Amino acid sequence: MTTNIKKTTAAANASEEPADDVVLVGPPLRPGQTAEKVTFAHHLRVGGKEVRPGDTAHVSPDYARQLRGSGYLARTRG
**What is the C-alpha separation between 78 and 62, in angstroms, rounded?**
20
Q: Which long-range contacts (CB under 8 A, 24 or more apart) does 43-48 make?
A: 44/72
Could you tell me the pTM of the whole model? 0.68
Those residues of the chain that have pLDDT short of 50 are 9-18
Q: Which pLDDT score is estimated for 14?
A: 45
Q: Which pLDDT score is estimated for 10?
A: 47
Q: Which pLDDT score is estimated for 55?
A: 94
